[in-house]
A and B are shown apart, each in its own frame.
Chain A
Amino acid sequence: MESQFYVVTWWDVLVALVFIALTYGIMRYWKIGLEKTLLVGTVRTFLQLTLMGYLLSYIFNQESWYFMVGLLTLMILVASFEGYRRQKLPIPHYFLILVGSLGITVLIVLGTILKFILAVEPWYYPFVMIPIAGMIIGNGLNSMTLTANRFIGELKHREGEVETLLSLGAPVRAAVHGSLVSAIRAALIPNINNLMTVGLVQLPGMMSGQILAGIDPLIAVRYQIIIMYMWITTAVLTDVISLTFIYRQFFTSRDQLRLKILRQAEG
Chain B
Amino acid sequence: MEQTSVFELRQVNRNEAGREILTNASLTIGAGEFVALLGPSGAGKTTILRLFNALDSPDSGEIRFRGERLDQVPVRDLRQKVGMVFQTPAILEGSVRENLLVFQRWQKDFTISDEEIHQILIQVGLENTRPDQAARSLSGGEKQRLALARTLMNEPEVLLLDEPTSNLDPVMAHQILRQIKTLQEEMGFTVIMVSHNHELAARYADRFVILLQGQIAADGPLSVLKTAHSPAVQTFLNGGGE
Contacts and interface: CB of A to CB of B under 8 A. Distances in A.
Say whether A and B bind each other.
yes
Interface string B84-122: 101011101000000000110010000000000000000
A253 to B, nearest CB: 9
Given A160-B86, A160-B90, A168 B79 contact: yes
A169 B90 contact: no
B57, B88, B106, B153 interface centre (most CB from chain A within 10 Å):
B106
Contacts of B57: 252, 254, 256
Interface in A147-190: 158, 160-161, 163-171, 174, 178
Contact of A161 (B78, B79, B92): B92
Nearest to A175: B103
B56, B77, B154 interface centre (most CB from chain A within 10 Å):
B56
Interface residues of A, number: 19
A35 interface: no
Interface string A52-66: 000000000000000
B150 interface: yes
Contacts of B102: 165, 168, 170
A171 B55 contact: no
Nearest to A159: B90
A136 to B, nearest CB: 34
B77 A169 contact: yes
Interface string B54-80: 111100000000000001000111111
A110 interface: no
A167, A170, A255 interface centre (most CB from chain B within 10 Å):
A167
Contacts of B106: 170-171, 174
B79 A166 contact: yes
B103 A168 contact: yes
A164 B78 CA distance: 14
Interface in A69-92: none
A158 B93 CA distance: 12
Contacts of A141: none
Contact of A167 (B55, B77, B88, B153): B55
Contacts of A169: 76-80, 103, 154
A252 B71 CA distance: 12
Contacts of A167: 53, 55, 79, 83-84, 86
Contact of A171 (B54, B76, B154): B76
A161 B154 CA distance: 17
19 contacts: A158-B90, A160-B86, A163-B90, A164-B147, A167-B84, A167-B86, A168-B79, A168-B80, A168-B102, A168-B151, A168-B153, A169-B103, A170-B103, A174-B103, A178-B92, A254-B71, A254-B75, A256-B55, A256-B57
Interface of A: 158, 160-161, 163-171, 174, 178, 252, 254-257
